[in-house]
Structure formats: structure tokens, C-alpha cells
A and B are shown apart, each in its own frame.
Chain A
Amino acid sequence: MGRTLAEKVWDDHVVVKGEDGSPDLVYIDLHLVHEVTSPQAFDGLRQADRPLRRVDLTIATEDHNTPTIAIDRPIEDPTSAKQISTLRDNAAEFGVRIHSLGDKEQGIVHIVGPQLGLTMPGITVVCGDSHTSTHGAFGAMAFGIGTSEVEHVMATQTLPLKPFRTMAVTVEGTLRPGVTAKDIILAVIAQIGTGGGAGYVFEYRGSAIRALSIEGRMTICNMSIEAGARAGMVAPDQTTFDYIQGRDHAPTGADWDAAVEYWSTLPTDDDAVFDAEIFIDADALEPFVTWGTNPGQGSPLSESVPDPASFSDPQDRAAAEKALAYMDLAPGTPLKDIRVDTVFIGSCTNSRMEDLRAAAEIIKGKRKAEGLRVLVVPGSARVRLEAEAEGLDQVFLDFGAEWRFAGCSMCLGMNPDQLAPGERCASTSNRNFEGRQGKGGRTHLVSPLVAAATAIRGTLSSPWDLEMDARTEQEAMA
């Protein structure tokens, strides 16, 4: 019988096959490290007097705590400063490559790996961060791990892992203009729920996925964890190879040829069988937003806040009631009537060049809505520089937005970029949990296009609404 992409990558990394229900010992090709989940792991190595086995497969950067303004000044919060200095000390002591604040390659860990050409098809990638699933967009097996496992990988370059099940997430058709990768994944999570992917590795397939750029595929794989999946993958193709070729750490010469030959064997065999499959009709998708406090609580923007009484499952009903109370929303309110205080464009889901270009195109020559705060935070220092070279920074500044330095920023508010209690935000990030962007803050997850349109109109909006506005204006003039 044929094998799926995920099974092929897994099989080629088994060091010791588990017997009698014990896990397989799996080799890890790339270990990404950041300041929040690593200090206790480095400590563990020190206490046991163990070396870090493969520094040449390890790379660290600073992202979760870093400030996004005045980065040349010392970090004000002493605990954040301590965590970052601890990472620097640990990297120096163990010989780990690190990209610190101010360095051109510093940025959100999941932006840095791909842009350096380190993320490749057919490899295993881990990081002490659940959004490691991002790297699956290349056809890598990539997943988030806890700090104990971070230490385990540092010490052994392997992990004992239990077998997984496979789910095909097939997206067929063509996205309408104004609908993006973000809307696909929000629709997937709304369909199967935050636990629907538990135990599975997803493979995103179908014509709509093939048509996406690597950056769009990263947006989708990034949020696999929001459906509870262990990982999400897309089979590598010419789009993937073109993205990698020529990057700093991409293979060259004979290595490149050997790599492409191997990568071309990875797509799922025609006769392979998935353990589960779901279908999404891309033609029917609309811009999507969340109204609740988990990423599965979302609806097309054209709909209204649902009535909790309409949920048949009692747990879902209770969750919806709790969410609407927290979000201060009444059932039946059209989603487009919801007014926001802040728009955040950033995070490892949507802070790459494609995202910034798409948002800039919408807002170009316009002014943000009165009283709104708009924060644009590029995913890495390199993205920031590239955007500035294209003049995007000026577009955002002219619009009235703040143009910041790279980092996780308001995605989780560990640095000073936070929502105030009760503040409402349209955010291109991945989690709308209670208090995620600041204690008492209310988050609506959206695509960069919806974020941009919302920033213009002040209420949750998509580019479709801007077109309508323009038409109405024209008719009034005629």
C-alpha cells in the first residue's frame, strides 16, 4: 500500500522502532530555540553535565519578549531583560548560533527558519512553541514541544514520539478576490473545532492549496495546532523549490540536485489511505472572522453573532455563552457592526512580505478611522528591511499606523504591546483566547485584508465592503 507524505517523512527518521506500544525514537533535523521555553532546558543540561549534542542543527533567536520600539535602548522590564540575557548567556556557553535584537536575522522564530533557507521538505523540525507547525508548509514534519522535550532534543537530537493518524484536509476550487489562506484555515477550524484534529497530522491538499504561495501555505499550517492537530503539512512542489533555491542555507550544486530528487518522491502516493478526510469548497468561502474566545468560534463576516441557544451540544452552548459574555457581544448583532479600538497586523501567522503588501495595497492613499490604533509589526528584521525598501513603511505611516520593529508583540503581549482591559482588536494573529493580547482584551481573528479594511472603516470589514462604499459614493456623485 502507498504511503502519505507524513508517513514517508516519519519513516525516514526512525532511529529505533518502538515495540509493544512504546514510541518510536525519531531523529530531529532542525531545532529552533527562543528565550521563553529554553532557560529551564539549558539548566537541565548543566545540572546533568550534558553537552548540547548538535549545535550545528540548532539556532536561537529572540522574539516573544523583545520590544518593538526603541530597540537600541536597554529593555525596561527587568524580567524580560533577564530572560533575554539568559538566552544570550546560554547560547554563548553551549555554542549555539543566536540572532539577537538588532541583528538582521532576528525575528519570530517561525519566520527566521524559512527565510534563512533552513526549513526544507522532508526534514523534522521542532521548537518549544506550538506554532512550529508553520514549517509544515514546505513538506517538513514540524511540531511544537514542551521544555522537557527541548532539553531532550538538546541532549540527544531525538524524541520518543507516538505514532499519529493522518487527516486529509482537501480544499478544492478557486478563492474569490478578497479571500485568503487565513480564511481557509479559520473555516477549517470552525468546521472541526479546536479538538477535531487531536491525534492527527493534517495534510492540506487540493487545487486551492496548490495555487497558494509558500507564504499562504505557512499561514494555513501555522494554525493547524488551533484545530488540535499535531502538525500540518503541504506536499512540496515547484513553488516550494523556487522559494528555497538561492537562500542562505539552501543546498547548492550536487546537493541541490540530490535534494530535489528526494523531495520529489515525498508527495502522498495515489493509493495511500488517510485515516480521516474533510472537504472545504474554496469557491464558497468568504472573509471569515472569529466572534468568540477560541479559534473554532468563527463565522463568515456576512453573518451575525450566533445565539448560544442554537448550539445543540451543551458544552458548545456553555462555551458560546461564556465567550459572548467575555467578548461583550449580543446574539444577532451583525458581525460588520462590531467596532474595534485596535488593529494588529503581525504574528507568525501573517507578518511576512505577502501579508504586508496585501494590507498596504488596501490602505494606500487612505487614512485610518478616527480614534483607532493600528500596529504593524513585521515578522523579522529582514522583512522590515525588505518592506522599507519597497516603501511600505511610508504607506503605513501615511495611513496613520505605527510601524514597529520585529517580534511577537501583541500576538501574546509579553512585551509592552498589549490591549487594555475591555479593548477590542481585529488581529491577524492566531489566538483569541481570553486575555491573550492583554488582560481583559477582546480579540477577533482576521486576515490581513480584513484587518486593513477594518482599519479604514472602524468596524469589522472586508475589501468587499470597501468596493461597496466606493460604488455608493460614485452613485451619489452621478
Chain B
Amino acid sequence: MDAISTLTGPIIPLRSSNTDTDQIIPAVFLKRVTKTGYDDALFHHWRQDPAFVLNQEPYRHGGILVTGPDFGTGSSREHAVWALRDFGITAVLSPRFGEIFRGNSGKQGLLTGVIPEEAVERLWAAADASPGMQTTVDLVARTVTIGDETIDFQIDDYTRWRLLEGLDDIALTLREEERITAFEATRPSWMPRTLPVQTGTR
């Protein structure tokens, strides 16, 4: 994963709340076995409408998505993050996120920041006033700046640190290999085992 500290791009105003991951990427696109190539699948049903924001210039090439509460609820599909990333969305700002979606974003280098609802309105207004104006998201300072306006966003320290360093979770965990093995030695014997296969009891 690449390290990130600041991101720039236009604010994309997505005027919607409760945007579940079925909307971000419908199930028919989950049949692929790869991790890339999902840009066309992003918001596929909504993009059938020519007036949808991502069909408009200057938003067709990605940027910073600013949207209403409960973004990324529902299904755990990480494809939602891959599709946003493939389209060129580098950060999402919302008052509240689906938790699994937010976790997935952190693993894939997509920045998610929590901002108050009133800040969402201000950023939308700023984007409407001058569509395509460049905005900077500063992960070090935890701020988003558009024109002379600066708004704080929230992201937890641990995710921020991993994004800033571009760290791979698995490699980090494997540093604890010895403690994992020691823990395994203490697991009680009644715990479930999938192997060897038992069948025919009931």
C-alpha cells in the first residue's frame, strides 16, 4: 500500500444518505476474481441517469467524495472500495460510515474522514459555487481545505498511522508470530475443528 499524507482533487457532492454498498457496486459485478477493473461498476445503476453527479464534468475523473450520513452500510463487499479507488476517488467524507466499509477502506488506502452534517452542507455549497475547485485533504493535520475554509475531520490514530506509513497489516501481525503460537497452545480442546471431517452423527 502506498503511503499518503495529502490528497488533492475536486469535491464531488453526492447528495444522498444511507448509500449502501449494493448501490456503490451492484452484486452482478462481484463475480470477478480480480482486485482491479471495477471503475465501470461504480454506482452502476445510478450512472444510468445522465444527470447523476459522476456523469458530470468535472467529476468524471474522481476526486474527494463528500456525502450524507451512513455511507457504505450493508454488505461487506470490499469491491465497493476497489470500485471507488479505480474510478479515482481518493477520499470520502461523511458524518457516519458503515463499519465494515470503513475498515476495508483503511486496508486499501482509501481515506475516510468523519465530518459533521453541517460541514457536509458547507462543502457542498463550496463545490456548487465553483465546481471543480481543487480541495486539499491533509491527513497529518486531519483537515480539509477549500478556498479559505478549513474543516477538521476525524480518523482514528491507528488507521491514520498506517495510511501515513503505507503499512501492510499482515506483515505487522506476523511480527507477533511467537505470541500467536503461544496463544494457540492454550486453546481448549472442545473448540471446533473443521478437520478431520465428521459426518453422520446428526
Contacts and interface: CB of A to CB of B under 8 A. Distances in A.
Given A255-B190, A315-B17, A434 B170 contact: no
Interface stretch (B2-10, B24-32, B133-141, B142-150): B24-32
B34 A40 contact: yes
Given A29-B192, A162-B156, A199 B170 contact: no
Contact of A56 (B174, B179, B195): B195
B17 A319 contact: yes
Contacts of A30: 192, 194
Contacts of B18: 194-195, 294, 319
Contact of B26 (A123, A158, A315, A439): A439
Given A40-B34, A156-B173, A249-B193, A434 B76 contact: no
A22 B202 CA distance: 44
Contacts of A120: 190-192
Contacts, number: 220
Given A83-B33, A248-B200, A258-B188, A156 B76 contact: no
Contact of B107 (A149, A194, A413): A149
A308 to B, nearest CB: 13
A195 B69 contact: yes
Given A80-B31, A248-B202, A146 B189 contact: no
A57 interface: yes
B197 A97 contact: yes
A414 B27 contact: yes
B192 A118 contact: yes
A255 B191 CA distance: 9
A107 interface: no
A281 B27 CA distance: 36
B78 interface: yes
Given A146-B104, A198-B99, A251 B190 contact: yes
Nearest to A263: B190
Contacts of A37: 76-78
A230 B101 CA distance: 11
Contacts of B26: 435, 439
A381 to B, nearest CB: 13
B78 A146 contact: yes
Contacts of B187: 27, 29
A262 B74 CA distance: 34
A83 B201 contact: no
B49 interface: no
Nearest to B189: A255
B180 A433 contact: no
Interface string A211-232: 0000000000000011010100
B81 A146 contact: yes
Contacts of B20: 294, 431, 433
Contact of B22 (A50, A315, A319, A434): A434
B176 A25 contact: yes
B43 to A, nearest CB: 11
B176 A16 contact: yes
Given A29-B192, A146-B104, A195-B69, A39 B45 contact: no
A231 to B, nearest CB: 10
Contacts of B85: none
Given A21-B157, A228-B70, A228-B73, A249 B31 contact: no
Interface of B: 16-18, 20, 22-23, 26-28, 30-35, 45, 68-70, 73-78, 81, 96-100, 103-104, 107-108, 117, 156-158, 169-170, 172-174, 176, 179-180, 183-184, 187-195, 197-202
Given A50-B170, A228-B99, 9 more contacts: A39-B33, A55-B194, A130-B100, A148-B169, A198-B99, A228-B70, A249-B194, A315-B69, A433-B74
Interface of A: 15-16, 18, 20-23, 25, 27, 29-30, 36-37, 39-40, 43, 48, 50, 55-59, 64-65, 77, 79-80, 82-83, 86, 97, 104-105, 117-120, 123, 128-130, 144-149, 151-152, 155-158, 160, 162, 194-195, 198-199, 225-226, 228, 230, 246-251, 255-256, 258-259, 262, 294, 315, 318-319, 322, 412-414, 431, 433-436, 439
Instruction: Rank and list the top 4 A-B pairs by shortest CB-CB distance, nearest first.
Output: A146-B104, A148-B107, A39-B33, A259-B190
8 contacts: A22-B158, A146-B100, A148-B169, A194-B70, A248-B199, A318-B17, A414-B31, A431-B74
